[in-house]
Each structure stands twice: as C-alpha cells, then as structure tokens.
Structure 1
C-alpha cells in the first residue's frame, strides 16, 4: 500500500514513523513534510491548503491511501477532492470538518445528539459580548468561533482581557463564542471512525500553556503524556457511549457522515463529563504519545476507516507502559517566534520534527514556533518522563524554550477530580 501523508508538523512525523513500521505500507511520502519526515518518507512539494493540488499529487504519486494531518486542508475540502479522484482518504469531508471549523456548528450537533457540553452564547458584536460575559461571570471563556490553531481561546478571571480578546476576533471579521467555565482536568480522546463504527484510542493530556505551572499564553501545545493514571475507570467506555458514538450517529443522520479522526477535548467536571471542543484530525502533540503505544499496524487501521470497513477490523492492541513528549519551541513563541536558527541533536531517537527545514548546506534549521517534539516511552509515566527530558538535553537550539513540568503532576499524584456539588 502506497500512503501519502499531508502536512509538515510533528503530528505528521509521528504518523510517518508509525506508518513506516507497518509491513503493509510499501511506499510512504509526506508533503510538504519537514527535515525529519524526509528521513523515512519521500518528500513532495504541495500547497496543503489547496484541495486540487493535494488530489493532483495523490494521483501523480499513485497513492492508495491519503492521510490528511492538519485541519486547514480538511476544512478546505481536500479529503473530498482526493476521494473524487478515486483514492481512499483518511479525513472528513469539508462539511463534516465543520465540527472543528465552526464551534457553533459543533454545539448544534452536540445539542441534537444529547452530548454533554458547556453552555454557550454566540456573539456577533460588542454589545452581545458584554451581555454574554455578564451572564457567565468569571472565570470567563471567550473563543474564536473559527480555526485558530489551538490558540483561539482565552480563559481568564480578568474581564478586560476577555473583552479585549473578543473585540480582537470581532474586529478581524470573526465570530465569537462565550462559554461557561468548566472545572476539572482536561482529557484528549481520539477515535478512528468510518462514519458508523467508532474505535477509541488511548486518552492523553495536553499542556496548552507556554510556561511551567500552566502559566503564560495559550499555545498549540507544549507537551503531552499517555495514558492517564488518574483517569476514572470506565472513562473511555463512557466517552464512547455518551460523546463519540452519538456524535458520529448524528452526523450521519444529517447527511454529513464523519469519517476520519474525531478528537474529543473533554473536561471531567464536578457535574460530570463535558465536551470542551471537537477537532477533525489527530491532535498535536497528543498524537506523539498515543501512536508509540499502539501495537496495531496504523496503515491497515486508517485504510479500514477510509474504506468503510472498520467493523471488520480486529480489536486494537496496545503496548504496556507510558509515553511523554516535550515540545521544544523557538524563542518568542507563540507571539513572534524566531526562525532560521541551526538545530543540532534533532536526528536522535525519539526526536520528532515540528517546524524544521534543511538549508543548502544540509543544516537543519528552525522554521516554526514549535520546532521539535521530543518523545520517549517507558515502563511507567515516571520512566518515560525521565527519558524524554534526557533526550531534550541532547538537543541544541539557541534560546529555545520548553516546559520542565510535562506530566509531573500526574507522576506526583497531584491531579484530582473535583467533588460533585
């Protein structure tokens, strides 16, 4: 099977690593890829946001399966274009991808499906913003209704900061969603689906804030770990029954079947499970810790989802142990990341490239805000965490920034579920 991966981040590098170990995958390409993916996958030039270009590349490269990593090409309709070219594609249609492309759309789907989520107030102007903030009270949650690369939400007790974020989005021509605050720890749970059958993967936890102690601005994610030793028993079964399957069933009922990777961002609140958001693709950096623990060959799993045969796929198999990934970011991330700096040690085991390129002399250089995702697997979370930070120490990037507390609270048993009211 010839597999083409679309994207250029650490998520796509992790996908390529997993796909390259699948005996059924006989050829692998990543477009446009990065300095790390080219070591295991054939590079190809493409504008990932152009559905016609993606489909043309898939056809010319003779792909049997296309795996679309980022949300932008999905929301633009790249999966539709690939399927119209007669090629199997792992990724939802343009219509179905609106579950990530529009938070208001996702709320309508959840309401119809009876999925538990935060109350929300759509905002179209400054006066509505003020009214919604009055209704919710602090802490305030203000979201960009559209795609924002994981950085479009402000959670704050500072009303002025909430108003400023809402005004900024509105002035840029976007729509705003104000939500009630959800207490409790957050969980990321991926599910592979063909639009009918749903197979959940391992739950993981992302660290969204830039700095230690969950301080600083929101980012695309500074690290992650899996599995979650503090998660309540039966969590995955509960999410499958109350969130994932009802959502997939509702999308199919609407005539907008969701096939691909459905990502549920969840909060385990004092009032029970609540959906924070849906994404329409593998999350980054959670993918970097979930896939190393998956024993089931990835190519066959994604092909079954892309071809509507997931019900016939064998049960998923998982390795024992845990995985931790630590993101190494460029100075100035996320506001104004500096790029072009040389990177050394990036070819070591477990180092996944996020924002890198190779210059004419063969030097790996930073090319984005998140530069590397350094990943390790261990017999337990403490061992995986120690190994990941040992690998971080072997990387050199001038003035780089990373958190030193990824998975630390879980290792130390400091994550607790809020008591019911």
Structure 2
C-alpha cells in the first residue's frame, strides 16, 4: 500500500520511522518532510496547510492512507477534504479538531460532561478579563483561545504578570487571531503527564504513559515551549491511575463528542495534572504530542498501520497494545534563543557519529539541507531519543547522542527524565 504522512517535524519523523517498518507499506511519502525523514520516506514539496494540493497529490498517486501529523491542517479541515474525495485519512475532522483549536470549546465540553479540569472563564473583552484576574488573584493561568504552537499558555505567579499576558494576547495580538478571546483558569499544581489514546469515535485504545517537559530551562524554569523532551513510561501514571484516566477523562470525552454531533477519530492527546493520585485535564490536543511521539513510537512493539486504518474506518476493536519493556527518553536539541528569536542556517555536526550509537535514534524536527549540509531551520531542531532497560539507562543513551552533536548556540535541557529518577 501507499501511505502519505502530512507534516515535517519530529513527530512526523517518528511516525514515518514507525510506518516504514510495516510490511504492509510499499511506498511512503511525506509532505513536506525534512532531511531526516528523507532517509525513510520520499519527501514531497507541499506544505502541510496546502490542503487542496495535498488532496490532488493523494488522488494522483492513489494513496491508500494519509496520516495527518500537525494540528493546523486538522483544524483547517484536511480530513473533511480528503474524506469528501473518497480518500482514507487518519485524524479528526474539522468539527472534532476544535478540541485543540479552541480552548473555550474544550473547556465547555469538560464542564458539560463533568470531566475533571480547572475552573475557568472565557473572555472576548479585555476589561472583563482584567477584572476577573483582579477578583481571582494569583497564581492564575492565561491561555490564548486558539492555536499558538504550544506557546499560548502563560502561568502567571502575580496579578501583574497575568494582566500583562492578557495585554500581550488581546491588545498586542502576539498570537494573532488565536488571541481574539482568552481562557483564564485556576492554577493547578502537581505533576504533569501526557496520556494518549487511539479512537475510531466509539472505541478507544490507550497508549503507554509519557511525560513532557514544557519549560525551556532546567528545573522547569523559563517560558513554555512546544516541549523540550519527554520520556515513557511515566511512573506518575500507575496502573490504577491509568484506569482512572480512561474512565473519568478519555471515555466521557469520546462519548461526549459523539453525543454533541462531532465524533472524534484519530489520536487524542490529554495533558494532565496529577495531584494526590487524582488527574485533572490541562488541555486536549488533536494529534500526537511532539516530543512524546518519539519515545512512545520507539517503544511500540506492533505494526502501527493496521491501527491507523482501523481508526480511519471506524473499526477499532483492539483493546491493548504491546510495548517494549525498555524505557525511552527524548532530549530536544533547540536553537539558541528558542522559544523567542533564533538564527537559522547553522551547520549541524556529529549526526553521522550519533547514528552509530546503538539503541538511539535522532529524529529531525527543524532541519533543512543547504549546500550539502544539514542545518538548523526551526526552534526545536532534533529529538535525540535513547532506549534503555531503565529510565536512567535511557537518559544516559539519549545524552550520549546529544554529546555527539553540535552547532553554534545549541540549547538543550540537561535534566530530561529527572522526575522519574527522583520518584525511584
């Protein structure tokens, strides 16, 4: 069969790496892809948001399955376009993708179906938002309603910080249209975890647990990013807590979406805050996490393609997945300055040396090819992912890979996975 993966980041490299291992797949395309993806798939120079062009390509090449990686084309309705053209596609349609595309939509869904989350209010008027902050006090969380590439959430420890965040979002429009309205919610403390489940709109198939590291600097300091590293499994999600998350969050979310006339098919990402053994939802995403996809897919034992097809066809009847016993850790190597401004086009050295390390894969995210060299081309550049019998071994393996790679002003956290070690 022929498969097309849409996107060009670390998540899509991990998906292509996994899909390429399937005996069912004869030809694998990725649009637009990146130099790392080009090693396992044929890259096609079509941007992820060029939906009509992608659909024409899929029709011309007789693509059997399209897998959509990023959130932007999902919220734009790529799944609807492909389905209308008679093409099989993995991912939620436009109505269902609102679960990520609008914070207000997802919070209202949770309120309606009693899904545990932080108390909140939505605002379209700046003055009302500021008045609410003054009434509630700090710490408090301010979120741009729409998509902001993982950067539209500000955890404000003072009222002044919270009001400044509302000013940035609503007055200065630092996130553009995504900030036309804001969601302001109570601050939740605890330990974060990422929980994923495949679904066909009715049935669910949970994945192994994982944990992301959102802040740019060690010890969870600095601004939020798209993610600076992740590991799987996450010890905070015990077997008992796994069942609680499925029963109190995942099942009511999928049932509620169906009840509201926008059944959700694809992969559901649940960002959680765990405190005293109780989970509450921080956010939903309509796609695989990045960087969580890297450690999860490297640990997944079975062929992913039949699962993707079953979700797309509404035929998901599998109840469990098999995982390698090993732990996996992904360390993101980023451009200096990220998540603010950074320099592009800097040559990356050491990739060949890193490729020789056993039980370690370098997933490309923001890279490009220039004059025969691999250069940085984005904020998050590489996801260096190691496998080990324990989380400690996997951390060591990942940082062996990091040590082999270099470019000017490279930045990475040195404490990815530390929370799992502290728990042991």
- The two structures have a TM-score, normalised by structure 2, of 0.95
Deviations 1:257-280 (A, max 9, x none): 110111001111248321111000
User: 1:339 is matched with which residue: 344, 354, 362?
Assistant: 344
**TM superposition shift of 1:407:** 0.4
**TM superposition shift of 1:314:** 6.2
Structure 2 counterpart of 1:328: 333
1:192 aligns with 2:198: yes
Structure 2 counterpart of 1:419: none
1:43 aligns with 2:49: no
Contact kept? 2:334, 2:380, Cα under 8 Å: yes
Matched residue of 2:289: which SS? coil
Contact kept? 1:50, 1:76, Cα under 8 Å: no
Deviations 1:116-138 (A, max 9, x none): 11111112222211222134322
Matched residue of 1:393: which SS? helix
Matched residue of 1:73: which SS? helix
Deviations 1:219-272 (A, max 9, x none): 110000010123333122111111111111111111111101110011112483
Structure 1 counterpart of 2:292: 286
Structure 1, 172-181 or 191-200: larger mean CA deviation: 172-181
- Which structure 1 segments of 5+ residues have no match? 415-421
Contact kept? 1:7, 1:33, Cα under 8 Å: yes
Structure 2 counterpart of 1:306: 312
Contact kept? 1:46, 1:57, Cα under 8 Å: no
The within-5 A match list for 1:133-152 is: 133-152=133-152
**TM superposition shift of 1:3:** 0.9
Structure 1 counterpart of 2:232: 226
- Which structure 2 segments of 5+ residues have no match? none
1:413 aligns with 2:423: yes
Contact kept? 2:241, 2:277, Cα under 8 Å: no
Q: Which runs of 4+ in 1 moved over 4 A?
A: none
The within-5 A match list for 1:14-413 is: 14-171=14-171, 172=173, 173=177, 174-270=180-276, 272-311=278-317, 313=318, 315-347=320-352, 348=355, 349-359=360-370, 361-413=371-423
**TM superposition shift of 1:297:** 0.6
In the aligned structure 1, how far is the partner of 2:308 from the partner of 2:234? 24
- The two structures have a TM-score, normalised by structure 1, of 0.95
**TM superposition shift of 1:110:** 1.3
Matched residue of 1:95: which SS? helix
Structure 1, 169-178 or 188-197: larger mean CA deviation: 169-178
Contact kept? 2:201, 2:265, Cα under 8 Å: yes
Structure 2 counterpart of 1:418: none
Structure 2 counterpart of 1:417: none
Deviations 1:366-406 (A, max 9, x none): 11011101001110100000000001001121110000000
Contact kept? 2:206, 2:320, Cα under 8 Å: no
Deviations 1:333-387 (A, max 9, x none): 111021100112235251110001112x321111101110100111010000000
In the aligned structure 2, how far is the partner of 1:125 from the partner of 1:339? 37
Structure 1, 341-350 or 105-114: larger mean CA deviation: 341-350
